[in-house]
A and B are shown apart, each in its own frame.
Chain A
Amino acid sequence: MISQQYPALLIIAPLLGAFVVAVLSWVDKKYCFGMAVASLAAATVSSILLLIDVVAQAPEPIVYKLGGWDPPFGISYYVDSLNALVLAVISCVTLVNLGTVRTAVNKEHPGKEGSFYALYLLAVTGHLGMVVTGDAFNLYVLLEIAALSGYALLGMGHRRAAFSTLNYLFMGTIGASFYLLGVGYLYIQTGSLNMVDIAGILTQTGATMTVLTAMSLIFIGVLIKMALFPMHAWLPNAYTHASSPASSLIAPMTTKVMVYVLIRMMLTVFTPDITFSMPPVTETMVWLASAAIVGCALLALSARNLKRMLTYILIAEVGYMVGGAWLGNTTGMTGAVLHIVNDAAMTLVMFLAAACMAYRLKSLDFDDLKGAFSKMPFTMAFFVLGAVAMIGVPPTCGFFSKWYLLLGGVQAGNAGMFGGYVFCGSLILSSLINVVLFFRVFEIAHFEPLAQGVDDHGHPIRPKIPMEEAPPTLVGGLALTAVALVVLGLFTSDIVDVIEAGVLPLLDPSLTDTIFLAVTGS
């Protein structure tokens, strides 16, 4: 039955695809793109069908045993509504991006298309793998696959890309090492690497010092990997100097997957009982997230380059999700997962718009954006739509995750966690700063270059700027994703149903046995 193989197909298709693309690049480079699209499309279809299957049988998860080895000894893939949703989103986003950026790849990586597509598929494999796996150590392996291919992709960029990627490599390796160390402690305590199995054992041992050490090491590692302020310093340079197609792949994917890993660790591995057992820690995390939101928004104000500004907004959004997850209530957790979905879409729109602009404009420095509304009206129109979503205006999706996060913050505040109110305040502040950030760009693109003299009727004579749009495939992909922002917003209640089907069982102790049974079979 093929339908039972979706979890494996999801990984194998892009993994094998990457090797085939690498071989094809020696034969004839023109086949590489088609092969890459085909293998990623297979993964996307599997992930969507998997989502449909798993929602139908919720709350029982789908467990796929690699090689037929039973857990806890074999590696097993574990899919519930939570990661099925993330899988579907990540695969869709990467597929749309791949289909869109071909012309940009040809322009920015001439002669290296083959290796670009091979690395692209490897990076997607690693990220999808991190989401689908139910094994804590296997997650580390896939983390490294994702990271190494990511370093290579980002390093292929402009002149300074190699240096800033080296910085990323150091920080990324440190983060991954923390994670691995944490998994080691967990193994010492439980003797198991399977996430659900670990959780079962931890309910008996309780929060021992070893477990708490493991927890702090793992969380620190993951927070470094997702670039939570103030551990963010590696990200802006690495993403800004990367090529457009590489950054529009990595930016929507990496931080979101790492947030998923955080949530999975919080809910499945350590279980809410242990994760939220220390109120000061919980409160500190919410304060940290609030600081990240405000701090990164302020840093974004200092940027004089569109892409750099977007990277700061990206890490401010990381704060949204981390804060929501640590509010300690269902609404906040729902908001955090919903924001994984919405932020992936929004970030893709923003970075695709940046890719379109980079294709035609001299650079993305603010001074070079003058007259962009006249030069690239369609790109700018979709950029405006994406910006409106980032600001959080309904009916775009950005509003709805913010709604849940704010509501969760108020609930946490009413329950006695003052940080909840602080979190709400920082969300509102960050929305307002986003208005300033984006309208500053719009002003430059709309008002400048300034008029020279006046005509007979007293109207200023504006320089004529001929229209020069990016290639249709780029703008088409941008249009598709921009419209998706509104569609996602209007279907919020359906997405929330899926999220709650995934999150609620993890918060409900009475369902622990069902999940445990599904994984271990005993």
Chain B
Amino acid sequence: MIMQSSIFPLLAILAPLAGIPGMMSSKNANVREAWTFASAFATFALALVLLPGVLDGTEYTLTIAPVIPAVPLALKVDSLGMLFAMVSTPLWIVTSLYSIGYMRGLHEPNQTRYFCCFALAISATVGVAFSANLFTMYLFYEMLSFATYPLVTHHQDPEARVSGRKYLLYIVGGSIGLALPAMIIVFSMAGTLDFLPQGVLVGTNIGAGLMAVLVVMFIFGFAKAGVMPFHSWLPAAMVAPTPVSALLHAVAVVKVGVFSVVRVLTGILGVDLLAHFHLSTLISGIAAVTILTASLIALSQKELKRRLAFSTIGQLSYIILGVGLLTPKGITGGMVHIAMHAFGKITLFFCAGAIFVGAGKKYIPDMVGIGRRMPVTMTAFFIGSLSVIGIPLTGGFFSKWYMLQGALDSGQWIFMVVLLVSSLLNAAYFLPIVYKAFFCTDEESLFEPVVKEAPIHCLVPLCITAIVSVVLFFFPDVFRTLAELAVEG
């Protein structure tokens, strides 16, 4: 392991912020969007520069300020952080393109505020990915919470107000009420909050009981991970414009929650120590309950975005389940799933938004025969569904395969059953939509067989992410290598 000081992680966090003054001051919408693209590409490029080094086992570090003795505000780019950055930064570029099509297509008001808050949220996301210790991660986690609030409540109507309240109650309530005290407890015992390969609690006199309490506090405290019963903010947050749901509530925000949990389990509490106290069943059990319950609830949802939201809740817990197995294969699978699910699910959200922009439909029963009108969109939807279900020729297969092996290795066959049953449920709530969209009689179809897709700005991004989902099946090496590096420590 080579440690190297580098300014790039900080620049990658600042790059999204650098565009904000430009966005706010430009009177012309095209100029404003140019600023968004400039910062999106810059952020991605700055992260990409560090990728080869990370793949070679280098870690890039930077201490910004020694705010509290023993707990500096510090950045570190390691393989797990890089994996997350490689998911969130390129998808920001794609989502920006999609946002333009969606927001202009629907003539949404307050677009400047929207794009500025979006940039702020991405900056925080990159910050979480590149944090060197729990305190820094908490800082960016909270920054993300507050930056997303104006996006969730974008429409400023009573419904948005209620959703915003729910969002704050769970997200900020969880982080201040549970994660912060847990962090204090860890620090008072260990005297450090740095992410270490073996965790920070090795050598302290911590007992199994307190360890279990900490696990629960962190998993529920990082409520962005949507683990039940701290999940109901996510369906409520679907009142936001679809690009927000797509990038933030399928990729950035929710993955920040899961990423934080994974970081804490691997870097703070320590895999070996968790295994020593036999806490695998607790972690994976909490996740398994969420997976099955969320999948069952998803079956009953009539509104497409809400069904996707419950699907996301279930898929997020896959990641926690995978890591909770505490076997190398399981952890690798969980980490790779961060990437695989992101590309699949963002495709699905893009499709949901495209259907809303192109055909004005939100509810699944109204989508019978929509494949005749929007064949490209629905094909992408099909590919996205396959990836989320985990069927070969899409990237989603890959991570599920690893997790199944991890479950076998750990000897907890029950979790293998959970994974398989859940895959069936996933198929049960996605495939009928696709089936009804294409295969229906002319009488059943609610649409004329005239092709009329959403605007090109909306269509291109969803094609890109769908293609990437397939490509990741054949070339998963970047994400797999990063995850394996992270597991080897």
Contact = CB atoms under 8 A, between A and B. Distances in A.
Nearest to B66: A493
A411 B165 CA distance: 34
A158 to B, nearest CB: 32
Given A410-B188, A496-B69, A424 B176 contact: no
A493 B160 contact: no
Interface string A454-474: 000101101000000000000
A432 interface: yes
Given A410-B185, A496-B69, A428 B177 contact: yes
Contacts of B288: none
Interface stretch (A69-77, A254-262, A439-447): A439-447
Given A432-B177, A492-B67, A394 B135 contact: yes
A400 interface: yes
B196 to A, nearest CB: 20
B184 A406 contact: yes
B56 interface: no
Given A392-B176, A435-B168, A424 B181 contact: yes
B59 to A, nearest CB: 23
Interface in A469-522: 489-493, 496
Contacts of A496: 68-69
B176 A435 contact: yes
Nearest to A492: B67
Interface in A340-389: 388
Interface stretch (B149-157, B261-269, B319-327, B372-380): B149-157
A462 B142 CA distance: 30
A451 interface: yes
B70 to A, nearest CB: 10
B67 A489 contact: yes
A431 B68 contact: no
Contacts of B168: 435, 439
A414 interface: yes
Interface in B115-158: 135, 138-139, 142-143, 146, 150, 153, 155-158
A295 interface: no
Contact of B68 (A391, A451, A492): A492
A298 interface: no
Interface stretch (B30-38, B91-99, B102-110, B222-230): B102-110
Contacts of B67: 394-395, 400, 489-490, 492-493
A430 B297 CA distance: 35
Interface size class of A (residues with CB under 8 A): 20 to 34
B162 to A, nearest CB: 10
Contact of A428 (B143, B146, B180): B180
B403 to A, nearest CB: 34
A21 to B, nearest CB: 41
B229 to A, nearest CB: 18
A407 interface: yes
Contact of B153 (A410, A431, A447, A457): A447
A407 B181 CA distance: 9
Nearest to B106: A457
A428 B173 CA distance: 10
B140 to A, nearest CB: 9
B161 interface: yes
A462 B156 CA distance: 9
A410 B157 CA distance: 43
Contact of B65 (A388, A393, A490): A490
A447 B156 contact: yes
A276 interface: no
Given A451-B156, A490-B65, A407 B188 contact: yes
B401 interface: no
6 contacts: A393-B143, A395-B73, A446-B156, A447-B153, A490-B73, A493-B65
Given A451-B157, A496-B69, 10 more contacts: A394-B67, A394-B142, A400-B67, A410-B188, A435-B172, A435-B176, A446-B153, A450-B157, A460-B155, A490-B67
Interface of B: 64-69, 73, 106-109, 135, 138-139, 142-143, 146, 150, 153, 155-158, 160-161, 164-165, 168, 172-173, 176-177, 180-181, 184-185, 187-188
- 10 nearest A-B pairs in the assembled complex, by CB-CB distance: A394-B139, A457-B107, A490-B65, A410-B188, A393-B142, A493-B66, A406-B184, A492-B67, A431-B176, A447-B161
